[in-house]
Amino acid sequence: MMRLPSSLAVLFILATAALLLSCSPSHSNRIVVGSKNFTESFILGELIAQQIEAHTSLKVERRFYLAGTYICQQAILAGRIDVYPEYTGTALTAILKQPAGRDRMDVYQRVKHEYERRFGLDLGPPFGFNDTFAMEIRGEDARRLNIRTLSQAADFSPQWRAGIGYEFMERPDGYGGMVTTYGLHFAEQPRIMDLGLLARALKDHKIDFAAGNATDGLIPALDLIALEDDRHFFPPYEAVPVIRQQTIREHPEVARVLAELDGKISNAQMQRMNYAVDGQHRDPREVAREFLLETKLVR
Amino acid sequence: MLGGHMPAEATTPVIEFRDVFYRIEQIQILSGLNLQVEQGEILVLLGRSGSGKTTTLKLVNRLVTPTSGEIRVHGVPNDQGDIIRLRRRIGYVIQDGGLFPHFTVERNVGLVPSIEGWPAARIRARVQELLDLVGIPAELASRYPRQLSGGQRQRVGVARALAADPGILLMDEPFGALDPLTRDELQLEFLSLQQRLHKTVLFVTHDLREALRLGSRIAMMETGKLVTVLSPEEFLRSADPWAAAYVRAFGDGLTSLANRGKS
Amino acid sequence: MNVVRFILQNHVQVLELTLEHLWLVGFSTLLAVLVGVPLGIVISHRTSFSKPVLASANIIQTIPSLALFGFLLPLPWLGERSDRLAILALTLYALLPIIRNTYTGIRSVDPAVVEAGRGMGLTDSQLLFQVELPLAVSVILSGVRVAIVISVGLATIAAAIGAGGLGEFIFRGLAMVDNRVILAGAIPAAILALAADLGVGWLEKRLHAR
């Protein structure tokens, strides 16, 4: 025979359990678009979001500023986001933990296949640009020392301080491999800094060598030069949308609509958009919208 | 039933201690205890603190297990058979009642019947009967122990012990924490209760006056040994040094106690 | 106020993150109760185990939470999904207050009452469920309350490893250097903690041993 307080307690527990189970994440009529926490990722995220908003009747929610590849991966696996922009090279080495490849198509196919098989995630067609790592130096140094490639830079590396992002330090296709491949011998350990601050720091002579990205908006703006990867160390980093297969099943129009972005963004165009946000401090939302209007993807 | 109505020989004691020893770590609590408790009597275990009287009591319902020796209840050694069944057939009253503070008076008294699975109506009736028996007014039935006086709590404790109509009652200084007036009252009430119910009672106390008044026999214990077993009158006249010491310690007016309320 | 307007404007996301947070805290607390209360009961009866068990729970508590998340990452199955990992870590942190309070609560039940019950023929499980637990429930709940409040705070850190929840706002706000976003995460979290504290506290008082 249960006393009133005991049965009340049991009821309470059951109610709590029921409430909890209903809290486990899921959302059926919205699309959640994620992005990482740097400018190019916001812009891509906005492009994806606006494309879906313009061409479908779905409501889009933005969940940007996710702090890194791992967090985005977790979020999409858990269903907290439905789609986010990733790079084929990053997916291959950081998530699938496989050695880097050289060939764009090969890398894309491998990632697409593995993502479908292991994670139930679909890879949409690439946006069109290759945001691989670009080792940047100041324009004045490049002209004075007459160097254009990374191999040439090796001789001058002992005089330089390098600045790199955190992920570049940790990733197998990052700092360690580059230094070995090109025989770079920097005087000190590289300074690890926020990606957004690298260009500035380079310009201000706080560092002499920055591990930036090929589509950095500030490259042309601040007269920085990206050294050529003549030994082809850095794998391709094509930007692609990663979509949950479940989302595609429930809303096939999402895949269709994102496929329209196939090959639409060149390196130069991405650089320009990045600069608009980083250099001119414009709103990524507006920059994305402008692009979609210009390319007639949206009216 | 543990054979309360067994057609055993009239001389089978209800409780029997045979060569019982009990020791914890290096301390010998009980040595060589041999004692019988007869049907319908109140056997008082008298002794001072540390004499082993409470331990002796707890051996009966197996709250304590002897190091060697046997305790028989209705002729059957109490380490055979179901210990739970044994305990439910024995009423157990301790000082200050040991009532469950989160149960009402009614639920406390009805505890053993309820775990024995009696139907609710029967439990209610029995509780009512017992509260009447021990003199607890019906309106207190839904109160909690902390809302009762010490004397009332003790009465409820007795009622609880009697609820399943056990043949045996174990009482461990049940009136010890009460003021003298209430104690006196409860002792008399208990005597009259016993006249009606004829339970077999093992009663622990250190108070000679209580022992003389209530006991049909007094078993005196000192440092774990049974010193002597005497009727109250015999006790007063006894030449035994321990008994004499007790009588001296308690002063005058004992004779009348010894004679009061005996059947 | 800016923050309030921001929260109202983004109420959908605030709500969603709050639910995620509740899921992390609630599920882990439930697990901690399911493991911790029985464990507390066991060590309160077999006190020889009490020292090692309490000491282990204590040690877990001293590990900085972010470090614990990090330790668990390489594990198979668990490390693959950060919400699983976060729930495990939160459960581990909730264990100490729950085990310790269960232990204390049961040990503080008047031994005379327990002995009286045993003497009357209550079985061990009847003693546990009808006497010890009801008398200890208020203290146990107090341990649960502490566990929940701790968990609400720790769960904000879980966002750092991608488990979602209100911490995501906080980290995002820090990266954007935008106080409104930080507060949009911090305020609901604080409200959750307060609500849990008051709610369970009320329940404790109701069930306090009479």
For A75, the closest of C26, C134, C162 (CB atoms) is C162
Q: C108 — contact with chain B (CB < 8 Å)?
A: no
Residue C31 class from Cβ within 10 Å (0-12 exposed, 13-18 middle, 19+ buried)? Answer: middle
Helix (H) or strand (E) holding A63: strand A59-66
Q: What is the pLDDT of residue B167?
A: 92
For residue B27, list its beta bridge partners: B24
CB contact under 8 A, A24 and C23: yes
- pLDDT tens readout for residues B114-141: 999 999 999 999 999 999 989 899 999 9
Contact predicate C210/B101, CB 8 Å = yes
Closest CA in chain C for residue B145 = C210
Taking the CA of residue C210 and the nearest CA in chain B, the distance in Å comes to 5
Q: H or E segment at C202?
A: helix C179-207
What does residue B92 show for φ and ψ, rounded to 5 degrees?
A: -130, 120
C118 band by pLDDT with thresholds 50, 70 and 90: very high
The answer for residues whose C-beta is within 8 angstroms of residue B31's C-beta and 6 or more apart is B21, B224, B225
Q: Distance (Å, rounded) from C-alpha A153 to C-alpha A172?
A: 21
pLDDT-derived band at C182, boundaries 50, 70, 90: very high
Highest mean pLDDT, choosing among A238-242, A266-270, B249-253: A238-242
Supply C95's token pair. Answer: 């264990």
**What proportion of chain A, given as a percentage, has pLDDT over 70?**
90
Answer whether residue A23 shows pLDDT above 60: no
- Contacts (Cβ under 8 Å, ≥6 apart) of A152: A145, A227
Of C134, C171, C206, the CB nearest to A67: C171
Residues C197/C185, Cβ–Cβ less than 8 Å: no
Tell me how far apart the alpha carbons of residues C174 and C209 are, in angstroms, rounded to a whole number: 46
Considering only CB atoms, C26 lies closest to which of A5, A12, A16, namely A16
Q: What's the average model confidence in pLDDT over A118-131?
A: 93
CB-CB neighbors (< 8 A) of C117 in chain B: 98, 100, 111
Asked if C117's CB is within 8 angstroms of B100's CB, the reply is yes
Give the model's pLDDT for residue A168: 85
Lowest mean pLDDT among A111-115, A199-203, C30-34, C182-186: A199-203
Report the C-alpha gap between B242 and B232 in whole angstroms.
14
Mean pLDDT of C151-165: 91
Share of chain B above pLDDT 90, in %: 63
C window 134-153, beta carbon within 8 A of A: 134, 137
Chain C residue numbers touching B162 (CB-CB < 8 A): none
For residues A242 and A77, is the Cβ–Cβ distance under 8 A?
A: no
Average pLDDT over every residue of B60-82: 92
DSSP B17: E
Q: Which residue of B has its CA nearest to C137?
A: B102
- pLDDT score of C13: 87
Q: Of the candidates C16, C30, C82, which has its C-beta nearest A20's C-beta?
A: C30
For B56-70, what is the mean pLDDT?
93
Contact C30 A67 (CB under 8 A): no
Interface test with C, best of A29, A65, A166 (most C CBs within 10 A): A65
Question: Is the Cβ of C20 closer than 8 Å to some Cβ of chain A?
Answer: yes
DSSP 3-state assignment of C86? helix
Nearest by CB to C119, from B92, B144, B146: name it. Answer: B92
CA pair distance C90, C153, nearest whole angstrom: 10
B-C contacts (CB, under 8 Å): 62
Total number of residues shown for chain B: 263
Distance CA C206, CA C210 (A): 10
* Helix or strand run (H / E) with residue B169: strand B168-172
Residue A115 per-residue DSSP state: I
Token pair for residue A155? 């001789």
User: Residue B3: its pLDDT value, please?
Assistant: 42
Q: Are A59 and A27 in contact (CB under 8 A)?
A: no
